[in-house]
Amino acid sequence: MPASARKNTRRIERENTVDEIYERIYVAILEHRLHPGTKLGEERLADIFGVSRARVREVLARLAHEQIVELFPQRGAFVAKPTKEQARDVFEARRLIEPAVLRRLVDTLTPEKIARLRQHQELEADAHRREDKRAMVRLSGEFHTLAAELAGNSALARTMRELCMLTCLTIFLYDAPTSTSCRNDEHELIIDAIAKRDRARAEKLMLAHLDHIEHSLDLDSHAVDVDLEAIFRE
């Protein structure tokens, strides 16, 4: 194999490894298995995932860029712990962005896009029926990122992914009950409005939905110790 091909293969393998570790940490946070404020030790994660600390640093740098992880000199990396003010900023940003997402989605609507939303809503309903709290939390956040992806604007989709993760951390940190913080029936009503191309109703429902989530927050935080190995090797 030519040297250039070997170099390209190693680059792809490195990127795949970084992407896989990133996704596992991302999902662990989204499912509330990793708590806000949890220390993400490089050496510990390198041992758990069987990679070098350099690979772990790449992942942590990417998560930090998205504000999911906070990096502190001499202390290391920690899962972000949004303050009350930051939480309000996140909801303010979502109130500005999500109506725009819905408008673009309605304007570019296709039967395939509605089918994707309905399929996702059914997954949420199934998670509720099974009382699978991890799946409920993950799917609730993914509904909003899916809508942004289907709207077809990559910048909006990236922004929504970050905002949804920060919302997830806020919900965990301030102990909003999963069953009421992002209700499945509210998503269903939003999808119905989108399907009817009723932009005004879809926007109104989304804003009410975001208000409902924010108002359910309990601003008293609780620190909890976490076993990283148990999370990623379960």
By residue range, what is the domain housing residue 127?
A: 84-215
C-beta of residue 217 within 8 angstroms of C-beta of residue 88: no
Looking at the fold, whether 119 and 228 belong to one and the same domain comes out as no
CA-based nearest residue to 174, from 210, 223, 218: 218
pLDDT digits (tens, 9 = 90+) for 181-228: 566 689 999 999 999 999 999 999 999 999 998 888 875 445 555 677
Same domain as 163, residue 120:
yes
In the predicted model, is pLDDT for residue 56 greater than 70?
yes
What is the separation, in whole angstroms, between the first and last Cα of the chain? 38
Question: Are 103 and 44 members of one domain?
Answer: no
Q: Which residues does 7 contact at the CB level (< 8 Å), separation at least 6?
A: none
More confident residue, 170 or 231: 170
Rounded to an integer, the average pLDDT of 77-84 is: 91
- pTM confidence score: 0.77
Task: Indicate if the pLDDT at residue 234 is higher than 80.
Answer: no
* Residue 106 and residue 152 in one domain: yes
Instruction: Quote the number of domains for the chain.
Output: 2
CATH code: domain of residue 193: 1.20.120.530
Question: Residue 129 pLDDT > 60, yes or no?
Answer: yes
Average pLDDT, the chain: 85
Work out whether the CA dihedral 62, 66, 67, 73 comes out positive or negative: positive
Please check whether residues 54 and 88 belong to one and the same domain.
no
Higher pLDDT, 63 or 31: 63
> Given pLDDT bands bounded at 50, 70 and 90, which one contains residue 178?
very low
Strands 76-79 and 69-72: what pairing?
A: antiparallel
Q: Is the same domain home to 54 and 96?
A: no
Q: In the predicted model, is pLDDT for residue 118 greater than 80? A: yes
Q: What are the pLDDT digits (tens) for 101-111?
A: 999 999 999 99
User: Are residues 152 and 45 part of one domain?
Assistant: no
- Please tell me the predicted confidence (pLDDT) of residue 146: 96
What's 75's domain CATH number? 1.10.10.10
Nearest-10 crossing angle of helices 111-130, 133-151: 170
Angle between helices 133-151 and 154-173 (to 10 degrees): 160
60 and 117 part of one domain: no
